[in-house]
Amino acid sequence: MSHALLNNKHVTSNELIIDERLFFKEECVEKAKMDKFKTLLLQAKIKIMSGGILRSNEDLTVSSDDLSDEADLASSVINQQVTFNMRQRELVKLKAIDEALYRIEQGSFGHCEECDESIGEKRLENQPWTSLCITHAEEQERENQKFIRAM
């Protein structure tokens, strides 16, 4: 029986084979998870691209009929703002999805941009485009709220 050195320990060839199999199995599981998240991201991207929010121009124009009545004009302006905000949110999400797909290709997907800790799997299943762990996402949200209140 031959011996090898693994992690500063002498191991037998049988132990080495078992270790290699476990490593291979873990690698396969990791690839399967990345494939799952890539699929979720691509589905979310398709949903945004095929949805009507980015293609609809109806609420982005003011009808000449609305110009004569202040209430109609106000309603049109409010509709424009709501539509613009919805489009903006979808565009931001689309960008985040593309960045997440890039992180998958680079091998950094699933790690927080701030602390490099693993992002929880449940969080990734709900928001696969996220780049922050829950702790840093909450911190960012608090900072955004402070900024909004200051305005």
Beta bridge partners of 106: none
Can you give the pTM of this predicted structure? 0.69
Categorise residue 117: left if φ over 0, alpha if ψ from -120 to 50, beta otherwise.
beta
Could you tell me where in the chain the CATH 1.20.120 domains are found?
Answer: 3-109
Token digits of residue 144:
């955004």
Residue 123 CA to residue 129 CA, distance in Å, equals: 10
Terminal Cα-to-Cα distance of the chain (whole angstroms): 73
83-123 tens-digit pLDDT: 888 889 999 999 999 999 999 999 899 999 999 999 999 99
Candidate CATH numbers 2.30.30, 1.20.120, 3.30.300, 1.10.1070; the one for domain 3-109: 1.20.120
